[in-house]
Chains A and B, each alone.
Chain A
Amino acid sequence: MARVVVDVMLKPEILDPQGQAVQRALPRLGFTGISDVRQGKRFELEVEGPVDEAALARIHDLAESFLANTVIEDFTVKVEEVAGAAE
């Protein structure tokens, strides 16, 4: 089994008030030097069977049509091996 991670972020030009609220809290917590925060979503998909090109293409379609709304969001798909799977 492998894990495929889909990260979804608001497009850079779109205002992210959640990220701004987080960023504004940072100085109060003693964190300085962070000029911007943007908040996104991470989906971890546990895939049964091999993550071959066909499987990745299907996940890409899923991300594009459902997990992200590409009118307002960008996404990336990456494969993460599950720890211990290579033993």
Chain B
Amino acid sequence: MTARIGVVTFPGSLDDRDTRRAITLAGAEPVALWHKDKDLKQVDAVVLPGGFSYGDYLRAGAISRFSPVMESVIGQAKAGLPVLGICNGFQVLTEAHLLPGGMLGNDHLHFICRDQKLRVENAGTAWTGDYRQGQEIHIPLKNMDGRYVADEYTLDKLEAEGRVVFRYLDVNPNGSLRDIAGITNEAGNVVGLMPHPEHAVEPLIGTGRTDGLPFFTSILKKLVNA
């Protein structure tokens, strides 16, 4: 038995196919989900991929958050469905208030594309179980609106509850407060991060490492052992 992991395609999604490919490489079954369709096809988990959904015209993720598929994702995420938001997907999750804080333009005002070093700060979420706590990984980062912001109270709460999942190392590429690259909700089933694990799953491309693959093997193990 394997797990079925849905990947939503919004108009303007860019990394939905890479994400489905990463899921296949991890040994799970990818299921394409469509933004206009409320039906989640009984998947066991959902990934919101990177891109510029609906052009990001109002704010990144702000229009997608009201799409029909998100109605179902929001409802089921609150009931425990594992959801991973990558880059634009992270922005959608903050706009949907499934994760606290918000995303703004990079502090240097430029698009950024680099191999980014991260530290895994929480290996206990649904999506990070195959990492070691404190492990350092390299995965690509590419974004315009990657600056994570939240008020001091929220930041302190995230830190105290261990809900900062990834932190930027060496360079803070976008001005994110407290070097935060990724966070989780209270239950640990919803995770969002700016860098792109789905682009680091084969040695031939990306960083030349497969540091992103454990996202997809983590969720598979969690679902199969559930």
Interface residues of A (CB under 8 A from B): 10, 13-15, 17-18, 21, 66-67, 69, 71-72
Does B109 lie at the interface of the complex (its beta carbon under 8 Å from any beta carbon of A)? Answer: yes
Q: Is the CB of A72 within 8 A of B149?
A: yes
B102, A71: Cβ atoms closer than 8 Å: yes
A18 to B144 Cα, complex, angstroms: 13
1/0 contact trace for B95-121 toward A, CB 8 Å?
A: 101001110110111000000000000
Would you call A71 and B175 a contact (CB within 8 A)?
no
- Taking the closest CB of chain B, its distance from the CB of A48, in whole angstroms, is 22
Complex Cα spacing A71 to B116, Å: 27
Contact of A66 (CB < 8 Å), options: B58, B94, B100, B149: B58
B170 part of interface (Cβ distance < 8 Å): no
Give me the 6 closest cross-chain CB pairs, A-B, nearest first: A72-B102, A71-B102, A17-B107, A17-B109, A69-B102, A14-B149
- The 21 sampled A-B contact pairs (Cβ below 8 Å) are A13-B151, A14-B104, A15-B107, A15-B149, A17-B105, A17-B107, A17-B108, A17-B109, A18-B105, A18-B109, A66-B58, A67-B58, A69-B95, A69-B102, A71-B94, A71-B100, A71-B101, A71-B102, A72-B101, A72-B104, A72-B149
Asked if residues B62 and A69 are in contact (CB atoms below 8 Å), the reply is yes
A67 and B95 alpha carbons, distance in the complex (Å)? 11
Chain B's closest residue to A72 (CB) is B102
Q: How far is the CA of A40 from the CA of B15 in the complex (A)?
A: 30
Known: A14-B149, A71-B94. A21 touches B62 (CB 8 A): no
Complex Cα spacing A72 to B66, Å: 18
- Closest Cβ–Cβ distance, residue B157 to chain A (whole Å): 14
Distance A53 CA – B105 CA, assembled complex (angstroms): 36
Q: Which residues of A contact B224 (CB under 8 A)?
A: none
Contact partners of B94 in chain A: CB under 8 A: 71
User: Is B150 close to A, CB under 8 A?
Assistant: yes
The answer for the CA separation of A17 and B149 in the assembled complex, in Å, is: 13
- A71: chain B residues at CB < 8 Å are 94, 97, 100-102, 150
Which residues of B have CB within 8 Å of A17? 105, 107-109, 175
Residue of B nearest to A71 (CB): B102
Q: Complex formed: what's the CA distance from A17 to B110 in Å?
A: 11
The reply to whether B100 and A21 contact each other, CB–CB distance below 8 Å, is no
Which residues of chain A are near B66, meaning CB under 8 Å?
66
**B59 at the A interface (CB under 8 A):** yes
Q: Chain A contacts of B62 at CB under 8 A?
A: 66, 69
Q: Tell me whether A21 and B102 are in contact in the complex, defined as CB-CB below 8 angstroms, given that A15-B175, A66-B66, A69-B59 are known contacts.
A: no
Sample of 11 further A-B pairs with CB below 8 A, known A14-B104, A69-B62: A15-B107, A17-B105, A17-B107, A17-B109, A17-B175, A21-B109, A71-B94, A71-B102, A72-B101, A72-B102, A72-B104
